[in-house]
Chain A
Amino acid sequence: MGSVGLTWPWEHRISPVVHEGRSQLQLAERETGANPEDAALAAGCLAGDLRAYERLYEWQGARMKNLARNLLHSASDAEDAVQETFLKIQRSIGSFRRQSTFVTWTFRILVNTCYDLRRSRVRRKEQTQNDSEEMPKLPEPRAAVAHPSLRLALERALAQLTQHQRDVFLLYEVEGFRHMEIAGMLEISETASKNTLFQAKKNLRLVLEPPRSREAGGMR
Chain B
Amino acid sequence: MKINCQDRERIFRDGTAEEWAALELHAATCAECGEELHAWKALSVAAEELRDYRPIPGLWRRIESSLQEQSEKERLRQRSWDWLKILRNIPVGWQAALAGAMVLALTVSGAYFLMHRTPTAPSAGNRLLKTDALKRVEEAESAYVLAIDKLAADAKPQVEDSASPLMVSYREKLMVLDSAIDDLRAQAGENPSNAHLRHQLLTMYQEKKETLTEVLETKR
Stretch of B29-37, B92-100, B116-124 that contacts chain A: B29-37
- Residues of A contacting B41 in the complex (Cβ-Cβ under 8 angstroms): 14-15, 18, 21
**B129-162 interface with A by 8 A CB criterion:** none
For the complex, what is the distance from the CA of A170 to the CA of B56, rounded to whole Å? 20
Partner of A11 from B34, B42, B66, B71 at Cβ < 8 Å: B42
**B19-78 interface with A by 8 A CB criterion:** 20, 31-32, 34-35, 38-56, 59-60, 62-64, 66-68, 70-71
Assess whether B12 is interfacial by the CB under 8 Å rule.
yes
For the complex, what is the distance from the CA of A195 to the CA of B13, rounded to whole Å? 6
For the complex, what is the distance from the CA of A83 to the CA of B60, rounded to whole Å? 8
Q: A48-B71, A54-B64 are in contact. Are A154 and B45 (CB under 8 A)?
A: no
- Residues of A contacting B40 in the complex (Cβ-Cβ under 8 angstroms): 21, 201, 205
Shortest Cβ distance from B68 into A: residue: A50
Partner of B53 from A1, A19, A66, A198 at Cβ < 8 Å: A66
**A10-46 interface with B by 8 A CB criterion:** 10-11, 13-15, 18-23, 25-26
Assess whether B15 is interfacial by the CB under 8 Å rule.
yes
Assess whether B17 is interfacial by the CB under 8 Å rule.
yes
Main secondary structure of the interface of B (DSSP, over half): helix
Partner of B45 from A15, A48, A91, A213 at Cβ < 8 Å: A15
For the complex, what is the distance from the CA of A91 to the CA of B131, rounded to whole Å? 61
Partner of B38 from A6, A63, A69, A86 at Cβ < 8 Å: A6
For the complex, what is the distance from the CA of A82 to the CA of B12, rounded to whole Å? 33
- Asked whether, in the complex, the Cβ of B39 is within 8 Å of the Cβ of A3, the reply is no
Apart from the given pairs A10-B49, A145-B52, 12 other A-B contacts in the complex at a CB distance below 8 Å: A15-B41, A18-B41, A19-B17, A53-B64, A54-B64, A57-B60, A61-B60, A66-B51, A66-B53, A143-B52, A170-B50, A208-B43
What are the 10 tightest A-B residue pairs by CB atom distance, in nearest-first order?
Answer: A173-B47, A151-B49, A62-B53, A198-B13, A143-B52, A174-B50, A86-B63, A174-B47, A194-B14, A83-B63
Please list 10 pairs of residues, one from A and one from B, whose beta carbons are closer than 8 Å in the complex, sorted by A's number: A1-B31, A21-B41, A63-B53, A83-B62, A83-B63, A87-B66, A90-B67, A147-B49, A194-B13, A208-B46
